[in-house]
Amino acid sequence: MTLKDSADAVLAGLGGIRSDLEDVYKDLHAHPELGHQEHRTATRVAERLRNCGYRVQEGIGGTGVVGVLANGEGPAVLLRAEMDALPVLEETGLPYASTAEATDASGRRVPVAHACGHDMHVTCLLGAARLMAAATAAWKGTLVALFQPAEEPGDGADRMLTDGLTDRVPHPDVAFAQHVLPYPAGQVGTRAGSFLSAADNLKITVHGRGAHGSAPQAAIDPVVLASMIVVRLQTIVSRELAAAQPVVVTVGSVQAGTSGNVIPESAELLVNVRTYDDETRRTVLAAVRRIVNAECDASGATREPQIEEGTRFPLTVNDDVVTRDVSAAFTAMFGERAATIEVQSASEDFSRIPDAFGTPYTYWALGCIDPDVYQASRERGTVAQEIPVNHSPRFAPVLQPTLDTGVQALVTAALAHLGKPGRMSP
């Protein structure tokens, strides 16, 4: 049986479950949950996996769920989807838009929305898991369906691993994940090697001397100091790195003072650094520290700055051989809709899971924007201005063909590595 035969056999059932999967997606979209709070989502995932015959473990790392389906001798394939949403007020206007609120980790009441597409990832994996369970004659091996909590805060994978994930599921021979991105729906994009950036988050506190706003001579103004740091940090990319070196340095937050006529004692900056190799990462982080310290010296700061390291996302480096095999399988399945994609400056914690197993992996992009809308915007030259990106309050994948394509991609990648002897050629 060829890969095409296996895929045809498994995906023959997609039409019969499409409507149900669309309902699942709409339900998940309307009921988003923040990281480590995915109790409703996890319960529904576990129930559906059990109904398909999977051996299910719940509560791994808090709210993580894993379903295992053993189907004879053969390799083990791990498919992963993340479940959490974002503290974003949805503005999509969809009939199933979220109106949810939740209390975040700091105790604040915030709006919640699936503004990154994790609801689509969960639905696609549930669909793939269901189809694979219904067509076990088409493949041999073990399928591990992993639903991870808290990708957004960056510690969901680590918590599952700390909770003994590597001892609780079969050792996978290969691992896969996908993510919706603002490209035309129906497209899938693969890339060997570095694909998603590493990300370092820093909290920087600089100290001045407070005074009345009418007496700046009596102060060391931390607002001016912070402003100089913001401007100077932009020169790391523009003046210290080669033009072809992909690096992003973002100051996402500056907090200081409470009144217009009071010069405060200190200012706080939240900085995000994204890089694609360890050497560049070290260079950029060292430059950040150098600039912060130098600007504090230049301003006569009363104390040394505090530079605290926060969440770090690892580099996502797709295995060359695995990516080659998956790309070939995608080309056979999707034709011209499968292509090589450029490196992305987004970050993920998925790679921590296969790295902990010592397992090769590949991670691909799934287009999710209405193709006609995208093409019209492209012809106007306004894609960056008009097409909502992940984390935007206006971001939501078009339901179809995104859902079908995501299910097909997971099934195709899994079947490229699961099967009877002699079945692997497309």
Which CATH number belongs to the domain containing residue 211 in this structure?
Answer: 3.30.70.360
Q: Does residue 262 fall inside a structural domain?
A: yes
For the cut 50, the answer to whether the pLDDT of residue 423 exceeds it is no
For the cut 90, the answer to whether the pLDDT of residue 283 exceeds it is yes
Q: Does residue 424 fall inside a structural domain?
A: no
What's the whole-number mean pLDDT along residues 11-25?
98
Question: Is residue 399 located within the same domain as residue 267?
Answer: no
Assign residue 335 a region: left if phi > 0, alpha if psi is -120 to 50, beta otherwise? left
For the cut 80, the answer to whether the pLDDT of residue 424 exceeds it is no
Q: Does residue 423 fall inside a structural domain?
A: no
Q: Does residue 44 fall inside a structural domain?
A: yes
* CATH number of the domain that residue 11 is part of: 3.40.630.10
Mark which of 281, 312, 343 sits at the end of a domain.
Answer: 312
Residues placed in the known binding site: 116, 118, 152, 179, 391
pLDDT tens for each residue of 378-402: 999 999 999 999 999 999 999 999 9
Question: Is residue 305 located within the same domain as residue 320?
Answer: no
Q: Does residue 420 fall inside a structural domain?
A: no
Check residue 4 and give its pLDDT: 86
What's the whole-number mean pLDDT along residues 252-266?
96
Check residue 1 and give its pLDDT: 74
For strand 64-71 and strand 55-60, is the pairing parallel, antiparallel, or unpaired?
A: antiparallel
For the cut 80, the answer to whether the pLDDT of residue 54 exceeds it is yes
Question: Is residue 239 located within the same domain as residue 353?
Answer: no
What's the whole-number mean pLDDT along residues 405-422?
86
Bridge partners of 79?
A: 145, 176
Q: How far is CA 377 from the centre of its chain?
A: 25
Check residue 323 and give its pLDDT: 98
Question: Is residue 394 located within the same domain as residue 267?
Answer: no
- Average pLDDT over all residues of the chain: 96
For the cut 50, the answer to whether the pLDDT of residue 421 exceeds it is no
Mark which of 270, 287, 312 sits at the end of a domain.
Answer: 312
Domain count, the chain: 2
Mark which of 312, 337, 356 sits at the end of a domain.
Answer: 312
% of residues, the chain, pLDDT over 90: 97
pLDDT tens for each residue of 126-158: 999 999 999 999 999 999 999 999 999 999 999
pLDDT tens for each residue of 69-106: 999 999 999 999 999 999 999 999 999 999 999 999 99
Residues placed in the known binding site for Mn(2+): 116, 118, 152, 179, 391
Question: Is residue 156 located within the same domain as residue 278?
Answer: no
What pLDDT band is residue 422 in, cutting at 50, 70 and 90? very low
Question: Is residue 298 located within the same domain as residue 340?
Answer: no
What pLDDT band is residue 2 in, cutting at 50, 70 and 90? confident
By residue range, what is the domain housing residue 324? 3-195+315-415
Question: Is residue 292 located within the same domain as residue 273?
Answer: yes
pLDDT tens for each residue of 286-330: 999 999 999 999 999 999 999 999 999 999 999 999 999 999 999
What's the whole-number mean pLDDT along residues 266-278?
96
Check residue 425 and give its pLDDT: 35
Question: Is residue 153 located within the same domain as residue 292?
Answer: no
Question: Is residue 165 located within the same domain as residue 23?
Answer: yes
Question: Is residue 295 located within the same domain as residue 327?
Answer: no
Question: Is residue 159 located within the same domain as residue 206?
Answer: no
- pTM of structure: 0.92
Question: Is residue 221 located within the same domain as residue 340?
Answer: no
